[in-house]
Chains A and B, each alone.
Chain A
Amino acid sequence: MDPGKLLLFTVGGLSTAAYLFIVSAGLSLVFGALRIINMAHGSLYMIAAFVTVAGAGAMGADLGFWAGMVAAVAVTGAVGALIEVTVLRRVYGQEHLVQLLGTFAITLIVAGAVRLVFGPGFRSMKPPALVNGSVSIAGYEYSIYSFFTIGVAVLIAAGIWLLLYRTPLGRNIRAAVSDPELLRASGVNVALLYTSVFVIGAALAGLGGVIVAPSQSVSPTMDTEVLVLAFAISVIGGLGSILGAVVGAVIVGEVISFGTVNPFLNQFALAFVFIVMAAVLTIRPWGLFGKPEQ
């Protein structure tokens, strides 16, 4: 494969990895701090995508996208807070099965609500003018929006790292992962901390939905589609590990991208992702970059 083609498929894989990372990072962050596998994570992603498309429909692609981004992140953050306060606080510390069922119930409610509000069909929108258009590199055309997506993902990754390792909130989150009881004893409002973490995770899911809206179609089943991949990515990378989410997303994105020209990968692209996940679970159940649960 010549370097131009290699770059084409690598960038294609990275742009897919970018939105998958944003969504997976939220899922992973929530699990790392709260030990909750949030099945409603895909629902928050879907809500944001529909809000963005609706914003673009009402205000045009330009203003609608940017306004939709703010609105969608705010809406998903608010919905996240509502979920954490009304549902999750009742299932912390319980078996994962109870948590799974609780958050799965939310996915069903949201799926019905989205169909009711936005209808059952698919929708789409154009990217805003600032990041619309194409650019030619080494004889191949690239959508500027794909670079924008990658750029946003890099910023998000850097932002999460700064949040976790350079802010008091991040220090508390890491402390909560290690020993929430000690943290509570030292005077930190752990309940508020948990709500904050869940809101951040929900907002990341929302941001993923916003970013994906101009490049893919938005449909009422996109919640489960992304959740399956985000879950696989989080397991491969290690639930709770942001670096793991980066690595997992890149693996999945590149397998999908190169699969269109590689007969083997094409046949086994999705299976390959889950084979890797199964292998990781067998050899290193806490994921490539995760830590074993205490």
Chain B
Amino acid sequence: MIAFFRRSAPWAAAATVAVLVAAACGGTSGGGGGGATTFKGTKKVGISVALTGQSQSYGQSIRNGLMLAADDINAKGGVNGYKIDLDVLDDGTDANRTADNVRQLILQDNVVALIGPVTTAQCQAASPLSKQNKVLLIAATCNAYQLTAQPQYVNPYYVSVVPNTFMEGAAAAQLAAKTGAKRVFIVSPKYLFGTSETNAFVAGLKKFAPGTQIVNDPATWYVPFVPTGITNWSPTINAIQSLKPDLVYSNVFAADQVNFIKAALQVDPKFFDKYPTETLASVDEFKTLGSSYPIGMRLYMRAPFFALTNSRMTDFVNRYRSKYGEYPSDWAVMDYDALQVWAQAAARAGSFDSDKVHSQIVGHSFQSLRGYSFTIRAADQQANVGETVGTTVDSGGKYPFPVLKDSTNLKGDDLIMPANIVEELRSGKCDFAKEAAGIAAFTTCPSWPK
């Protein structure tokens, strides 16, 4: 557990900071009011996150983003007069450990809310416990649309502020269609996120680039998803070489993406020139590979700070760098937003009761670091957040990693699943079993255009 203590700054400095904070907030800060903040007590917000294992780079960014959000919230007097303390447990990118951690967070540590773990597998483990114990779970990273639309997973206490797999699949398909590729090779992690996003991508291809051929058999699209990441990428690299696609579509991420890129460059330094690749990515993969991250990669990203410039983001980036000595990843940005959503809703509700806070989240709008406000709709408690697409280019020394050229920030409203499809999915009118056969469940809904 990581506890956050108030700084032991001198009294005069604390008073000065408090006055400035009060001035900046226009005197509306909750709980503490003006002068040195006196809290009524502490409320814990819990997160089981991957600080080790396959997704450790994501988990560390998430923790950092949340810590900064908690600092900001507490500097403004906390929530309803209470200091917000983060309760962070490492799950090692292992869904079994997530379940144990979430049980501990809810039953022993008495957290008032949960922030979602990294992967969909972990959110699958966390969500039933959130539902059973009526503790709000705000997902900012895991994103299979099934988590909010498939009857067996639906949880009224689950809120998503991350573009889900339906939205990302559509964004990825639009990006692929722009390349004009006719022969696409697919590689994806074998679990709910991978199948969900890949099937949404394939459905999107049928809409945006109907003549496109998938060159590898659906049974070979997936690679195992293991807590420590795949060690041997040689078979996948050989498969790509043998099938000679115009475009490789990937949604492997974190350690897997890093190791895949390294292994491919070892086989052929021009691998990504010969086999143009489109993939889900984040600033974390950029930071890990630095200037070795290939140029010319078509990426779809959830919240890259360099493409979402606005004054709040600039301030966030500066403070993040000052505190952690590195640039914030997409996950830090989205998890910062997630904690702010909960804090604002709890403040509006004047309560930490999950039902009361929930009523202040669903149907309400929140300002995002991403430079726009998003609304969490009632149909599936999904935010209409956007996706950024573009092609990697050298940043010209501005950053120690590439950036996106001609990036486009696709709007959430243009990507989000139609509400009538959500309703049909939730009411069991669509065939989720088809997902295993490479067919997105939403395409089987009665209202989906055939």
List the interface of chain A (C-beta within 8 A of B): 5, 8-9, 12, 15-16, 120-122, 124, 126-127, 132, 134, 140-143, 145-146, 212, 215-217, 219-222, 225, 256-257, 259-264, 266-267
* In contact, B239 and A260 (Cβ under 8 angstroms): yes
Taking the closest CB of chain B, its distance from the CB of A46, in whole angstroms, is: 11
- Listed from nearest, the 3 A-B pairs whose CB atoms lie closest are A263-B219, A120-B52, A141-B268
B152 at interface, CB cutoff 8 A:
no
* In contact, A225 and B242 (Cβ under 8 angstroms): no
B35 at interface, CB cutoff 8 A:
no
**18 other contacts beyond A8-B241, A120-B92, A217-B255, with CB at 8 A cut-off?**
A16-B232, A121-B53, A124-B262, A134-B268, A134-B269, A141-B271, A143-B267, A215-B234, A215-B263, A217-B259, A219-B228, A221-B228, A222-B231, A256-B232, A257-B234, A260-B238, A262-B220, A266-B220
Q: Which of A15, A124, A225 has the most CB of B within 10 A?
A: A124
Taking the closest CB of chain A, its distance from the CB of B249, in whole angstroms, is: 16
Per-position binary interface string of chain B over residues 204-235, scored 1 when its CB falls under 8 Å from any chain A CB and 0 otherwise = 00000000000011111000000111011011
Q: A9: which B residues are within 8 A, CB to CB?
A: 235, 238, 242
Partner of B242, one of A145, A221, A261: A261
Q: List 12 A-B contacts (CB under 8 A).
A: A8-B242, A121-B56, A134-B267, A141-B267, A141-B268, A212-B231, A215-B232, A217-B229, A256-B235, A257-B234, A259-B235, A260-B220
Q: B217: which A residues are within 8 A, CB to CB?
A: 261, 263, 266
Taking the closest CB of chain A, its distance from the CB of B107, in whole angstroms, is: 26
Cα(A216)–Cα(B255), bound, Å: 12
Q: B241: which A residues are within 8 A, CB to CB?
A: 8, 140-141
B266 at interface, CB cutoff 8 A:
yes
Closest residue of chain A to B231 (Cβ to Cβ) is A216
Taking the closest CB of chain B, its distance from the CB of A245, in whole angstroms, is: 19
Partner of A145, one of B54, B238, B266: B266
Partner of B228, one of A220, A259, A263, A267: A220
List the interface of chain B (C-beta within 8 A of A): 52-54, 56, 92, 216-220, 227-229, 231-232, 234-236, 238-239, 241-243, 255, 258-259, 262-263, 266-269, 271
Q: B52: which A residues are within 8 A, CB to CB?
A: 120-121
Closest residue of chain A to B269 (Cβ to Cβ) is A134
* In contact, B234 and A146 (Cβ under 8 angstroms): yes
* In contact, A225 and B231 (Cβ under 8 angstroms): yes
Taking the closest CB of chain B, its distance from the CB of A100, in whole angstroms, is: 24
Given A140-B242, A145-B266, A217-B229, check contact A16 B234 (CB 8 Å): yes
Partner of A127, one of B53, B266, B268: B266
* In contact, B238 and A12 (Cβ under 8 angstroms): yes
Given A215-B266, A260-B239, A262-B220, check contact A124 B234 (CB 8 Å): no
Partner of B236, one of A5, A15, A222, A260: A260
Partner of B235, one of A5, A221, A225, A257: A257
* In contact, B234 and A122 (Cβ under 8 angstroms): no
* In contact, B266 and A219 (Cβ under 8 angstroms): no
Q: A264: which B residues are within 8 A, CB to CB?
A: 219
Q: A146: which B residues are within 8 A, CB to CB?
A: 234
Cα(A5)–Cα(B238), bound, Å: 9
Q: A127: which B residues are within 8 A, CB to CB?
A: 266
Cα(A140)–Cα(B267), bound, Å: 10
Q: A140: which B residues are within 8 A, CB to CB?
A: 238, 241-242
Q: B268: which A residues are within 8 A, CB to CB?
A: 134, 141
Q: B54: which A residues are within 8 A, CB to CB?
A: 122
* In contact, B267 and A261 (Cβ under 8 angstroms): no
Partner of B219, one of A215, A225, A266: A266
Q: B267: which A residues are within 8 A, CB to CB?
A: 134, 141-143
Q: B255: which A residues are within 8 A, CB to CB?
A: 122, 217
Partner of B220, one of A219, A220, A221, A261: A261
* In contact, B239 and A124 (Cβ under 8 angstroms): no
Given A143-B267, A215-B263, A260-B220, check contact A12 B234 (CB 8 Å): yes
Q: A263: which B residues are within 8 A, CB to CB?
A: 217-220
Q: B266: which A residues are within 8 A, CB to CB?
A: 126-127, 132, 134, 143, 145, 215
* In contact, B219 and A15 (Cβ under 8 angstroms): no
* In contact, A122 and B229 (Cβ under 8 angstroms): yes
Taking the closest CB of chain A, its distance from the CB of B435, in whole angstroms, is: 16
Q: B259: which A residues are within 8 A, CB to CB?
A: 122, 124, 216-217
